C-alpha cells in the first residue's frame, strides 16, 4: 500500500492517521478485478483541499493502460451482455446494499478528497445509492416493442441491445454519485465500462469499485483508470477513439465536453454529455419569500456552489427585491459556516483546487472593480486555509462584468432586479447554457408559462433542488446531450434493433 510507504515520509503522523481512518482508501487502480499500478509505475498525489495535505498517491496511468482497460472491458462484455436482466438487477441491488452499509466510510472518503461537509457527503452517498437502487429495478423493464407490419405475413419487433463498452469520465464535485448514476444505468443495460475519475477525486471511484467487487460484480465489468491532469487528454483520447468503445458518457465542463464530442464524432460514437449550466433563480412578487429564501440557500450554497445545477443568477422582481436581498444576506451570515468538512457544524467547505478558487476570486474582483457591491463576503478566508472563500452576496451587477454571464461554480450569489415576466425570460434565456432553472411564484398560469418558455432541460417551480433517480436529468443547448436517471437513463446505453420476420405463410 502506498499509504504505508508514505507513512514513513515527512507526513508520517497525518498519513498514518488518515489511512487508519479511511477504511475504503485504495491506492491502486482497478482493472479486470485486480488492484494494479500504472504500467510505468508512475503515481500522482491526491490531496485534501481543506488542508492541502497528501491523502495518498494513486497510479498515473497513460494511454497504454487505458487501452488495456478497454480490452478487458471488451472481453467482459462478451459474457455480461448475455446475463439475464434478473441477474443484473440482483447484482446491482447487492452493490446498492453494500454502499448503503458503508455510507459512513464512503462519506469520509468523499469529504477527505472533495472537502464537502460530512453531512453533505452522506447526502451524496444516499443520492448516489438511489441510482443503484433505481437501475436495479429498471434493469428488468428494458422491454422491446412489437410493431404492426405494413405488409401481410410479416412481423416486426424492436429490441434494445447493450451498446458495448462505455467510457466514463467524471468530475470532482459529486465524485461518488456521478459514477453510480452512469454505471448503474449501463450495467442494467448489459454494458461494461472504463471509468476515468477526476484527478482531484479518484478515491471515491476506487471505493465504489471495491464495494462493487464485494457485491459480486464480475471482473472486467467495471474498470477504473486513474490519471493525473497531465495524462487526462491522452487517456481520454483512447477512451473516445478506441474502436471497441460504443459510447462516451461525460460529466464536466462544456470546454472539455466539446473536445470529447469532437473525438467521438470521428468514430460515430454515442455520447451522453452533462456539461456546465447557468441556472436562473427567478422570484416573482406572488412567491412565498421565506420559502424562496430557504431554497435559494440550497440552490446556491449546496456543495459550496460547485454544482452544475447550482443557481448562478438570482433574478428578483423589483417589488420584493429589497426584502429578498435583506433575507438572503441574513441567512448567509447565519447559515454558511466555513471550515473543514470533518468539523461539526460546518456547512461550507473549501473550493476544490487553486484553479477554481482563483476563478471565483477573479470573478468577484472584476465585478467589484466595475462597481458591484458585496453585501457579505467577497474575499478568501485565509485564516482557515488556502482555498476557503467566504460565502458572498453581490449586488449592483451589470452586463459588462464577467460574473454576469459566466458560470461561477462557487459560493457567490448574484442578485439582479427585474420588472416584467417577458424581460426576465429574455435575460434568463440569453445564454448558451440550458441545464436547470428555478422559478418561485404562486400564480399557476405563470408557472406553466415559465416552464414552457424557459430554455432549460429542467425547471423547478417553487423548489431549489430537483435531482433524483426518478426524473430525467439533463440539459439542452451547450449544457449537454442525453438524459441520466429515469427510464431514459438506460436508453442512452442501448441500441434499438429492428428484426423483420417475413414469409410467415411459407
Ligand atoms: P472540472 O472543471 O470539473 O475539472 P473538467 O471538464 O475540466 O471539469 O474535468 C472533468 C473531467 O474531465 C475530469 O475527469 C478531467 O480529468 C477530465 N478531462 C479534462 N480534460 C480532458 C481531456 N482533454 N480529455 C479527457 N478528459 C479530460
Domain locations in the chain as residue ranges: 55-276+483-494, 279-430+436-468
Residue 213 bears catalytic tag: no
List the 145-147 sheet strands across, edge first: 145-147, 155-162, 494-501
Domain 55-276+483-494 bears CATH identifier 3.30.450.20? no
pLDDT digits (tens, 9 = 90+) for 227-286: 999 999 999 999 999 999 999 999 999 999 999 999 999 999 999 999 999 999 999 999
Query: What stretch of H or E contains 455?
Result: none
Residue with CA closest to ligand 1 atom 7:
253
The architecture (CATH level 2) of 279-430+436-468 comes to: 3-Layer(aba) Sandwich (3.40)
Question: Probe ligand 1: pick from 113, 168, 252, max atoms within 8 Å of CB?
Answer: 252
Catalytic residue among 191, 247, 308, 415: 308
Per-residue pLDDT tens over the stretch 364-394? 999 999 999 999 999 999 999 999 999 999 9
The pLDDT of residue 19 is 53
Cβ count within 10 A of residue 283 = 28
C-beta of 246 in contact with ligand 1 (< 6 A): no
Q: What is the mean pLDDT of residues 58-65?
A: 98
Q: Cell 472539455 maps to which residue?
A: 256
Specify the 3-state DSSP secondary structure of 432. coil
| Predicted confidence (pLDDT) per residue in 184-225, tens digit | 999 999 999 999 999 999 999 999 999 999 999 999 999 999
* Closest atom, ligand 1, to C-alpha of 253: 6
Q: Is the pLDDT of residue 157 over 80?
A: yes
Active-site residue among 57, 274, 390, 407?
Answer: 274
DSSP 389: B
Least confident stretch, 3-17, 331-345, 420-434, 470-484:
3-17
pLDDT digits (tens, 9 = 90+) for 72-90: 999 999 999 999 999 999 9
| pLDDT over 60 (residue 122) | yes
Which residue has a Cα nearest atom 22 of ligand 1? 233
355 lines ligand 1 (CB under 6 A): no
9 pLDDT band (50/70/90 cuts)?
Answer: very low
CA 295 – CA 291 distance, rounded (Å): 6
Report the pLDDT value the prediction gives residue 20, as an integer from 0 to 100: 54
Q: What is the pLDDT of residue 385?
A: 94
Q: What is the pLDDT of residue 11?
A: 42
Residue 127: its pLDDT value, please? 98
Task: Tell me what the mean pLDDT of segment 454-473 comes to.
Answer: 98
What is the rounded average pLDDT of the residues 432-438? Answer: 98
Q: Is 232 in the pocket of ligand 1 (CB under 6 A)?
A: yes
Q: Which pLDDT tens digit goes with each residue over 158-188?
A: 999 999 999 999 999 999 999 999 999 999 9
Residue 308 bears catalytic tag: yes
Phi then psi for residue 38, to 5 deg, are: -70, 150
Residue 6 has pLDDT above 80, yes or no: no
234 lines ligand 1 (CB under 6 A): no
With a 6 Å cutoff on the Cβ, whether 233 touches ligand 1 is: yes
- The DSSP symbol for 174 reads S
pLDDT of residue 23: 87
CB 19 within 8 A of CB 4: yes
Residue 12 clears pLDDT 90, i.e. is over it: no
Distance of CA 169 from the midpoint of ligand 1 (Å): 7
Where do we find the cell 438506460?
490
User: Measured in angstroms, how far is the CA atom of residue 282 from the centroid of ligand 1?
Assistant: 31
What is the spatial distance between Cα 375 and Cα 53, in angstroms, rounded to a whole number? 33
Q: Which atom of ligand 1 sits closest to the CA of residue 172? A: 3
Residue 352 alpha carbon, nearest atom of ligand 1? 4
pLDDT at 7 over 50: no
Among 161, 95, 170, residue whose Cα is nearest residue 133: 95
Task: Please work out whether the CB of residue 162 comes within 6 Å of at least one atom of ligand 1.
Answer: no
C-alpha cell belonging to residue 338: 466555513
Under the banding of pLDDT at 50, 70 and 90, the label for residue 14 is very low
HEC states along 263-315?
A: HHHHCCCEEEEECCCCEEEEECCCCCHHHHHHHHHHHHHHHHHCCCCCEEEEE
CB 311 within 8 A of CB 413: yes
Question: Is the pLDDT score of 8 beyond 50?
Answer: no
171 lines ligand 1 (CB under 6 A): yes
263 lines ligand 1 (CB under 6 A): no
What are the residues facing 458 on neighbouring strands?
436
Q: Are 309 and 466 in contact (CB under 8 A)?
A: yes
**Above 70 in pLDDT, residue 4?**
no
What mean pLDDT, rounded, does the chain reach?
95
Amino acid at each position: 500500500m502506498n499509504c504505508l510507504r508514505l507513512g514513513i515520509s515527512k507526513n508520517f503522523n497525518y498519513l498514518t492517521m488518515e489511512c487508519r481512518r479511511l477504511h475504503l482508501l485504495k491506492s491502486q487502480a482497478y482493472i479486470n478485478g485486480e488492484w494494479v499500478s500504472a504500467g510505468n509505475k508512475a503515481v500522482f498525489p491526491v490531496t485534501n483541499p481543506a488542508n492541502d495535505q497528501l491523502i495518498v498517491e494513486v497510479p498515473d496511468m497513460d494511454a497504454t493502460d487505458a487501452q488495456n482497460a478497454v480490452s478487458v472491458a471488451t472481453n467482459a462484455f462478451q459474457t455480461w451482455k448475455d446475463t439475464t436482466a434478473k441477474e443484473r438487477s440482483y447484482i446491482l441491488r447487492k452493490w446498492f446494499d453494500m454502499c448503503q452499509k458503508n455510507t459512513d466510510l464512503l462519506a469520509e472518503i468523499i469529504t477527505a478528497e472533495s472537502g464537502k461537509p460530512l453531512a453533505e457527503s452522506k447526502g451524496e452517498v444516499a443520492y448516489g445509492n438511489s441510482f443503484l437502487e433505481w437501475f436495479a429495478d429498471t434493469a428488468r423493464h428494458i422491454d422491446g416493442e412489437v410493431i404492426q407490419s405494413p405488409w401481410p405475413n410479416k412481423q416486426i419487433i424492436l429490441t434494445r441491445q447493450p451498446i458495448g463498452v462505455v467510457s466514463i469520465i467524471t468530475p470532482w464535485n459529486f465524485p461518488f454519485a456521478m459514477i453510480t448514476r452512469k454505471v448503474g444505468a449501463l450495467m442494467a443495460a448489459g454494458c461494461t465500462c472504463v471509468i476515468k475519475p477526476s484527478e482531484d477525486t479518484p478515491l471515491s471511484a476506487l471505493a465504489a469499485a471495491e464495494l462493487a467487487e464485494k457485491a459480486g460484480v464480475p471482473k472486467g465489468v467495471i474498470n477504473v483508470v486513474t490519471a493525473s491532469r497531465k495524462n487526462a487528454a491522452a487517456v481520454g483520447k483512447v477512451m473516445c477513439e478506441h474502436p471497441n468503445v460504443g459510447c462516451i458518457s461525460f460529466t464536466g465542463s462544456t470546454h472539455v465536453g466539446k473536445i470529447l464530442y469532437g473525438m467521438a464524432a470521428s468514430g460515430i460514437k454515442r455520447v451522453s454529455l452533462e456539461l456546465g449550466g447557468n441556472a436562473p433563480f427567478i422570484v416573482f412578487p406572488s412567491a412565498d419569500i421565506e420559502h424562496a429564501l430557504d431554497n435559494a440557500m440550497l440552490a446556491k450554497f449546496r456543495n459550496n456552489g460547485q454544482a452544475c445545477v447550482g443557481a448562478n443568477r438570482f433574478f428578483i422582481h423589483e417589488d420584493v427585491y429589497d426584502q429578498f436581498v435583506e433575507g438572503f444576506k441574513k441567512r448567509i451570515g447565519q447559515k454558511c459556516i466555513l471550515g473543514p468538512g470533518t468539523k461539526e457544524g460546518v456547512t461550507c467547505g473549501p473550493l476544490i483546487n487553486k484553479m477554481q478558487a482563483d476563478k471565483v476570486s477573479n470573478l468577484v474582483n472584476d465585478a467589484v472593480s466595475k462597481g458591484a457591491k458585496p453585501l457579505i463576503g467577497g474575499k478568501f478566508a485565509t485564516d482557515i486555509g488556502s482555498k476557503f472563500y467566504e460565502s458572498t452576496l453581490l449586488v449592483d451587477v451589470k452586463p459588462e462584468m464577467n460574473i454576469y454571464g459566466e458560470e461561477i461554480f462557487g459560493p457567490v450569489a448574484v442578485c439582479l432586479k427585474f420588472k416584467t415576466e417577458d424581460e426576465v425570460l429574455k435575460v434568463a434565456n440569453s445564454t448558451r447554457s440550458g441545464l436547470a432553472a428555478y422559478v418561485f411564484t404562486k400564480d399557476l398560469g405563470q408557472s406553466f408559462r415559465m416552464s414552457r418558455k424557459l430554455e432549460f432541460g429542467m425547471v423547478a417551480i417553487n423548489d431549489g433542488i430537483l435531482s433524483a433517480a426518478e426524473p430525467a436529468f439533463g440539459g439542452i443547448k451547450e449544457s449537454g446531450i442525453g438524459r441520466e436517471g429515469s427510464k431514459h437513463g438506460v436508453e442512452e446505453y442501448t441500441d434499438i434493433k429492428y428484426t423483420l420476420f417475413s414469409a410467415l405463410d411459407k
